[in-house]
Structure 1
Amino acid sequence: MAPPRYRGAFNNGFQFSIGIGYLSASLINYGTEKIKAGWGWRISLVMAAIPASVLTLGALFLPETPNSIIQRSENPQTAKLMLQRVRGTDDVESEFDDILKASIVAKTIERPFKNIVRRKYRPQLVMSIALPFFQQVTGINVIAFYAPILFRTMGLGEEASLLSAVMTGAVGTVSTFISMLIVDKFGRRALFMAGGIQMFVSQIMVGGIMAAELGDHGGMTKGYAFLVLVLIGVYVAGFGWSWGPLGWLVPSEIFPLEIRSAGQSITVVVNFVFTFVVAQTFLAILCRFKSGIFFFFGGWVVVMTGFVYLFLPETKNVPIEKMERVWRNHWFWKRFVGQDVDQILDTKLSENFGQN
């Protein structure tokens, strides 16, 4: 529903909200840790019911999108009225025609999960798997889930470790907000590149410092611990304005209507599966790799940054209904994507909706 020129900012609001939630949870944990009776963790769990309740109640007031209305109704006039409402203008003919065209194609597809594996949808299928996978192997969940453990390993006390988690949450939230402001100006690829370089450099420096100073069983001076904390903040900031929000933004805007439900489902499943895998294997990897775990995730950052540079086209300001054009003009993906079908769609549009 977001206008193309603001789509990146609106969509990055999703990750920004996650950042606010993580920061709020860290603050609550920091506060409840001070409860000496030992039942503070119960407050932490109960507080999670508040945003869950807001989300559930808010869903009752959520309107249908114009695309959904067209898919569920034979009369496109209702969808046009909704589009005029969300755009704040009656001049929506061009965009509405694009939505109608996409709807015509989508109605010919009965099994989106079967069709998404077709050759013409190969770019979208690869991105729906690769981007959420890469987002998780940046190592961000190592910081998000185990920041207090990492900081205690570096010699910080329990209270200081929780406070450090608050700091990383604040840095991530602020950097994601910055991404909202600039993503539609500089584009997705530029932020992916800049964030990848920033994360790689900070991870290598953290790994090097911890290998030299911490060793297998030693401690770390407060000076080095502070430096590592700053570098982790740099890393979190890099993720916050690149792979954090863009890992959700790009998959949300590349799927044509006929496979959008399947593509989005695959993206979420891959993301959650590898979130689980990283969370469950991190401690074992940490015990085996020790400080080398930062080199491990840094290597993945190199791979994913190279992948984006070679295979991800720029999608800023491109209407979702016309997104297939970026694949037809890409040096690699154009061999998989068919020729322009706009003329055929125009003919079908007049046949199916001309009377309306």
Structure 2
Amino acid sequence: MPKQTNAYKYSFIVAIGGLIFGLDAALISGTINFITKEFALSDIQLGTAVSAPALGVLLALPFAGYACDKFGRKKTLIIVAFLYLFSAIFSALAPNYFTLVAARFIGGLAFSSISLASMYIGEIAPPKLRGKLVSMTQINIVIGLSAAYFINYLILDWSTATSGWAVDYGLTTNVWRWMLGSEIIPALIWFLLLFTIPESPSWYLLKNRKEEATKVLTNLMPLTEIPKYVNENLERIHSKTKELSIVEQLKGVFTKRMRVILIIATTIAIAQQATGINAILFYAPTVFEQLGLGTDAAFAQAIWIGLVSIVFTILAILLVDRLGRRPMIIAGMLWIVASLVLCWYGFSLAEYSLTPEALIALKDVPNIEQLNNLVGVVYDSDLAFKNALAENLGEATARDYAGVFLEKCTTLNATLILVGLLSFIGAFHFSVGPLMWVLFSEIFPVSIRGIAIPFFTIITSLTNWLVQQFFPWQLNNMGVGAIFLFYASIVAIGLIILSIYLKETKGLTIEEIQKTLQGNK
């Protein structure tokens, strides 16, 4: 087998962590209505259950950098895989709300797999393949997302069975548990596969284990390129990998020479999640319910998110080393802003009205007669309509039947908004989605990379947590259209900053990137 294929093989195995991440992230989207009813959750409690992994990763990331440098990339990844497995099992078995939050929080400790995968792949990949191989993690994330939406749809469909295996195995009464439990088998497979990868040569050199580093690098390159590549990389890495304490590495991030890199990394870390991508991904059926599609159709439409994600992530991977990082990020963020504004515009034209026909169709809603006074009243926002329902039916009933009311009472251009949503998904996965991790694997000096990548991943994870935690609250206090405009505004600010500071890194070595971004300071 050609030696270069080992780089693909090891990168693929490590990138499976992205698939597990995608499953873990999106499976919760199908459980929202079920856990809300079963545990009688408020908006904030629901946001806490969904965002618990994002909070967990905030705790894990500082230790992830330490563990990577202390114990090695491989051992740390194995620990992460075990945490995914543990979380999947106990999330599915959770007897109450607090246990569910705790189990998902533990799973969040494993979300550092994304930054760790980028670090590992960036260290074993030849420069010409680095962009494609690092982006492999992102394609696996979107495959995991797509699989999660499809699994949720199948389980929801099977749960309607009145006989057969679905009843025998409790699927009809434990829908959300089956959804969360579907992660167990792939998490176990990834855990076992990680035992077959080598340790990162950069880590070996960091620990002054030159012979082992040489052996790994030799196994990654074509025979004709081995002498030059190994000698150059051993000299480069050895000169840069003086082992620094965590404090020293962290101080290195904030030096004057790192100013431009700090601005780029901070901006893209915030902007990537401030797009609201995980509000859409983690609450997909809920978002589609706002279009008046109904619950079953919302689950089916959510599958389109996964499919669009896969197509545009593949395009990004194929083009990243041809078009370059800067043009794809700048153009992609402009595309994101335009898509979010289109969604806002579509919702701004919506009207909500309870007609006599809708009232008859909603006869199974408890105390529906209390809405007689709303018949014929036209509301120009989902927020005003939901507030009127809550005032007349009570918050619990209005929340439990929100999808039904939106389906029967909404008049809007669903096609326009759907195009905007899918355009946003495509833009994200063509630009800042995968390319943030490519930049993170390239722009930091080797001597501080072990702490720099986790540090900036903390920033993006904190933004992610805020988006997930408060989306249910925003939905019921700002309205869905205003949320999209809010996201667009933040991304626009990030776009302006990156257009000024971001330089092209395509095809450059780590040293050349440092010279480009640090200048002569």
* In structure 2, distance between residues paired with 1:299 and 1:174: 27
Match of 1:353 in 2: none
* In structure 2, distance between residues paired with 1:5 and 1:175: 21
In the alignment, is residue 49 of structure 1 matched against residue 184 of structure 2? yes
Paired residues of 1:179 and 1:241 also in contact (CA < 8 A): yes
Match of 2:202 in 1: 67
User: What are the superposed Cα offsets for residues 142-189 of structure 1, whole Å, 9 maximum, x if unpaired?
Assistant: 211122112112211101111111111110111101111000000011
Aligned ranges 1:226-245 → 2 under 5 Å: 226-245=415-434
Match of 1:79 in 2: 213
In the alignment, is residue 309 of structure 1 matched against residue 499 of structure 2? yes
User: What are the superposed Cα offsets for residues 247-288 of structure 1, whole Å, 9 maximum, x if unpaired?
Assistant: 211112111111001111112212222211110111222333
- Cα offset for 1:79? 2.2
Aligned ranges 1:133-172 → 2 under 5 Å: 133-172=270-309
Residues 288, 53 of structure 1: CA spacing in aligned structure 2 closer, same or farther, 3 A cutoff? same
* In structure 1, distance between residues paired with 2:427 and 2:234: 35
Q: State the aligned residue count.
A: 329
Instruction: Give the secondary structure class of the aligned counterpart of 2:192.
Output: helix
In the alignment, is residue 289 of structure 1 matched against residue 478 of structure 2? yes
- Cα offset for 1:99? 4.0
Aligned ranges 1:96-135 → 2 under 5 Å: 96-107=231-242, 109-110=244-245, 111-135=248-272
* In structure 2, distance between residues paired with 1:200 and 1:130: 15
Paired residues of 2:261 and 2:517 also in contact (CA < 8 A): no
Paired residues of 2:328 and 2:431 also in contact (CA < 8 A): yes
Residues 207, 283 of structure 1: CA spacing in aligned structure 2 closer, same or farther, 3 A cutoff? same
Match of 2:125 in 1: 2
- Cα offset for 1:121? 2.4
Higher relative CO (Cα under 8 Å, sequence separation at least 6) belongs to 1
Instruction: Give the secondary structure class of the aligned counterpart of 1:316.
Output: coil
In the alignment, is residue 181 of structure 1 matched against residue 318 of structure 2? yes
Instruction: Give the secondary structure class of the aligned counterpart of 2:275.
Output: coil
Aligned ranges 1:328-339 → 2 under 5 Å: 328=518, 334=519, 338=521
Match of 2:86 in 1: none
* In structure 1, distance between residues paired with 2:192 and 2:251: 34
Match of 2:517 in 1: 327
* In structure 2, distance between residues paired with 1:238 and 1:265: 25
The amino acid that maps onto 1:18 is I
* In structure 2, distance between residues paired with 1:162 and 1:299: 29
* In structure 1, distance between residues paired with 2:319 and 2:418: 26
The amino acid that maps onto 1:13 is M
Name the TM-score, length of structure 1 as normaliser: 0.86
Kindly, what percent of the aligned residue pairs are identical? 28
The amino acid that maps onto 2:204 is I
Paired residues of 1:29 and 1:44 also in contact (CA < 8 A): yes
Paired residues of 1:176 and 1:245 also in contact (CA < 8 A): yes
Aligned ranges 1:170-209 → 2 under 5 Å: 170-209=307-346
User: What are the superposed Cα offsets for residues 315-341 of structure 1, whole Å, 9 maximum, x if unpaired?
Assistant: 11112243212214xxxxx3xx53xxx
Paired residues of 1:102 and 1:321 also in contact (CA < 8 A): no
Paired residues of 1:106 and 1:257 also in contact (CA < 8 A): yes
Paired residues of 1:199 and 1:239 also in contact (CA < 8 A): yes
The amino acid that maps onto 2:274 is V
Match of 2:350 in 1: 213
Structure 2: gaps (5+ residues): 1-123, 161-171, 352-379, 386-408
Name whichever of 294-303 and 236-245 sits farther off.
294-303
User: What are the superposed Cα offsets for residues 223-248 of structure 1, whole Å, 9 maximum, x if unpaired?
Assistant: x1122112211110000110110121
- Cα offset for 1:108? 5.8
Paired residues of 1:128 and 1:266 also in contact (CA < 8 A): no
* In structure 2, distance between residues paired with 1:184 and 1:235: 23
Residues 134, 165 of structure 1: CA spacing in aligned structure 2 closer, same or farther, 3 A cutoff? same
The amino acid that maps onto 2:255 is R
* In structure 1, distance between residues paired with 2:499 and 2:285: 34
Match of 1:13 in 2: 136
Q: Which has the larger radius of gyration?
A: 2
Structure 1: gaps (5+ residues): 329-333, 339-356
CA RMSD of aligned residues (A): 1.9
- Cα offset for 1:90? 4.7
